Amino acid sequence: MSVLKLYTYPDKILSTPCEEVKKITAETRKLLDDMLETMYADKGVGLAAPQIGLSLKMIVVDDKVGENGEAGPHPMKMVNPEIIEKSSETIFFNEGCLSLPGQCAEVERHAAIKVKYQDENGKEHILEASDYLAVILQHEIDHLSGILYIDHLSRLKRNMIIKKLQKQAQE
Ligand code: CO
């Protein structure tokens, strides 16, 4: 496994909608493993393929990552994930993103969702998730449509974060 380069805002790949994975191969499985390793190396709880420069519908998620990036008991690798049901009830969560380093903001999300996806062997599953896991999944699946968490904020808040990122980049 290897740690891959992370693409950060304002790289265009982050705002580009991803293509479906048509065939799951050994290469797909290696990429998913590398994505997990990259996520742990950066102490993240989720990572989407555009963040490593690939416009493909793949995400990895681990809602039980330890403080120093240790793997939890059930890391998830998802190919072609899609939200098929969402609760009308919403929750607010303080979100960050490895592609917008050092920044975070409160985002409103559905409190519970149902996600359809394929595992690394192409088998289809349906996962029901709520609270923290539902938030992570919505954040990562958004990435596959070229949407970042800042796109859910007011223009004022969004611009504030973008300005901070630009300042960081100059330093
Ligand atoms: Co993100």
Give every CB contact of residue 55 below 8 A, 6+ residues apart in sequence: 13, 16, 17, 18, 19, 49
Letter for the amino acid at 68?
Answer: N
C-alpha atoms less than 13 angstroms from C-alpha of 46 in its C-beta half-sphere: 23
Q: Please state, in angstroms and rounded to a whole number, the distance separating the CA atoms of residues 43 and 27.
A: 24
pLDDT in the model for residue 73:
87
The candidate with the shortest Cα–Cα distance to 62, out of 50, 47, 51, 52, is 47
Environment class of 20 (CB within 10 Å of its CB; exposed 0-12, middle 13-18, buried 19+) = exposed
Ligand 1 centroid–CA 150 distance in Å is 10
pLDDT attached to residue 171: 84
Question: Residue ranges of the domains in the chain?
Answer: 12-170
Ligand 1 centroid to Cα of residue 66, in Å, is 18
* CATH architecture classification, 12-170: Alpha-Beta Complex (3.90)
**Alpha carbon of 141 to ligand 1 centroid (Å):** 9
- pLDDT at 69 (0 to 100): 86
User: Active-site residue numbers?
Assistant: 140
pLDDT of 169 reads: 86
- Residue pLDDT tens, the chain, 171 long: 799 999 999 999 999 999 999 999 999 999 999 999 999 999 999 999 999 999 999 999 999 988 888 999 889 999 999 999 999 999 999 999 999 999 999 999 999 999 999 999 999 999 999 999 999 999 999 999 999 999 999 999 999 999 999 999 888
